[in-house]
Structure 1
């Protein structure tokens, strides 16, 4: 911003000076407002999630409310059955999760069987995906349910909504192998919902992804943090929206180290070799269904599938599709296993 000499200002007519100072004050007020708005967006996206039960909104549809009630019952049953609370130190943080052994194994891991790593969404409470855990247990899988950093009971001051630390999941896979030893799973399925889906899609092209990860299943994931941010503030006027997103990105860089060089779900699938299944509800207003098509078109995996669940809102494809949800997932995993077992 050019510096205006004091002598020039004093030589200006009084009316012009008043206009100048008013404009200067308005500009400073606008910049301050945009910085505060950018900070609010950053805080909203990354504020640490507390471990508490989900309370559905008062206007929730009856069928959706019934789904949440089923999830609550499933959660109680799971915690009454065999499970282990696990903890590891990674990147200086205490990360925690729950391991559920395969049901036919009498509480002991069954060697050679599959393990589903079921990953929750943004700000979800622990065991929010209880019905998905139950789905895999019913099919003879063991299941690991991590609490991502920034979500209780794991450490982390902020939620990693940009998936910069998706590698935490790779660390958990190694921890599972180490803990189970000779009884370790024969293969892994990474199953993510919403932000969890964004994490597994980012990992799909990670060179550190081991060959025993046979499938990535992503339900209602977004293409990138920036794209999701733009979607969330789409109702703002461009004059307000663009500076706010700029300042929010500055805060992401300063406080979390995010940069344009970081991998995203979209750049991850562009490198993917593992089979990838993308699921999305057509009525999703939180993460637009168009992102699923963009992810599918950008995916370079030789085995991939896109499934739109008609009428499903965000994170409710399982509730809408019911048994089809299980059948479609299992059919895809079987297809992926054929390639894994043949070594292709």
Structure 2
């Protein structure tokens, strides 16, 4: 009998240790710095660090509903333009990750807002919430920029990875100011992406997931079960373009395909980038990437 109790105790302690490690990987992985981000995008036509530093971004700050200071960087290249693209990075990244898109969108007549999502970059916060609280933060940014630029401004959203899931999750809540969404490598649900990550790590999902999600509910005040971008997309009428690399091991490209199929109303586009992994859909073929987005924008603004 005593051996059974010992085995149970060891199992419980071991499971708690492993689930604690998994919780930290899911919500608290080491955030990347500026140098790392420019290293990541150096193979694209994105800005070099020294070029970026000369651009003259205006630093902006908002307060989230839970009183976190969130930071964004606004580039006003077209003084008379009402067109704005808000670019949202992914998990462990920061706003420098989005620098690679600056040239393209400014040439298309957009001013640019790069944001550091909560708990990343210069923004406050401890935990990533997989788009749950980030979506609410995005709404505050949109209202802030409407007040800054005027109610007649035209806003587009471009998200990558967790940022893509955030904009997809927001897609059924967009008001008339938001005209389109570009979601690059989004996941379709919180549960499914964690299941995929556990599978890649050869970790037992059915044992760990309830423990990890319990810790998330207790400490982060949300549940992975509440993160369902695919359900928002099903209800959305806003134009959405899904972009995904077919060699993405971090987030399976099937998730973008599933959301593309799920969207029944409004304009939609799907661009599967051959040979691209999670970090280089844009860099894999810059010219084709830009042509695909130009075509999408023509459909949106025709």
**Fold match by TM threshold 0.5:** yes
Asked if 1:304 is matched to 2:268, the reply is yes
CA gap 1:305/1:40 in 2 versus in 1, 3 angstroms: same
Which residue number in structure 2 is paired with residue 16 of structure 1?
Answer: none
**Shift of residue 189, structure 1, vs aligned partner:** 0.8
**CA deviation digits over 1:178-205, x for unaligned, max 9?**
1234xx6631110001111000000001
In structure 1, the residue corresponding to 2:126 is in which secondary structure?
Answer: coil
Matches within 5 A, 1:47-196: 47=28, 50=31, 52-55=33-36, 66-67=42-43, 70-71=45-46, 73=48, 75-91=49-65, 92-102=67-77, 105=78, 109-111=79-81, 113-181=82-150, 186-196=153-163
Contact 2:32 2:92 (C-alpha < 8 Å) held by counterparts = no
Asked if 1:241 is matched to 2:222, the reply is no
**CA deviation digits over 1:76-104, x for unaligned, max 9?**
323312320001112211110000012xx
In structure 1, the residue corresponding to 2:138 is in which secondary structure?
Answer: helix
Counterpart CA distance in 2 for 1:164 and 1:186 is: 25
- How many corresponding residue pairs? 300
Q: RMSD of the TM alignment (CA)?
A: 2.2
Counterpart CA distance in 2 for 1:40 and 1:129 is: 29
Counterpart CA distance in 1 for 2:158 and 2:200 is: 32
Task: Report the TM-score, using the length of structure 2 for normalisation.
Answer: 0.92
In structure 1, the residue corresponding to 2:235 is in which secondary structure?
Answer: coil
Which residue number in structure 2 is paired with residue 200 of structure 1?
Answer: 167
Counterpart CA distance in 1 for 2:200 and 2:180 is: 37
In structure 2, the residue corresponding to 1:253 is in which secondary structure?
Answer: helix
**Shift of residue 125, structure 1, vs aligned partner:** 2.7
Q: Which has the larger radius of gyration?
A: 1
**Shift of residue 115, structure 1, vs aligned partner:** 0.6
Deviates more, 1:299-308 or 1:145-154: 299-308
CA gap 1:88/1:162 in 2 versus in 1, 3 angstroms: closer
Which residue number in structure 2 is paired with residue 214 of structure 1?
Answer: 179
Counterpart CA distance in 2 for 1:156 and 1:65 is: 25
User: What are the ranges of 5 or more consecutive residues in structure 1 without an aligned counterpart?
Assistant: 1-19, 339-344
Which residue number in structure 2 is paired with residue 39 of structure 1?
Answer: 20
Which residue number in structure 2 is paired with residue 333 of structure 1?
Answer: 297
Deviates more, 1:192-201 or 1:163-172: 163-172
CA gap 1:78/1:140 in 2 versus in 1, 3 angstroms: farther
Asked if 1:270 is matched to 2:228, the reply is no
Counterpart CA distance in 2 for 1:220 and 1:264 is: 15
User: What are the ranges of 5 or more consecutive residues in structure 2 without an aligned counterpart?
Assistant: none
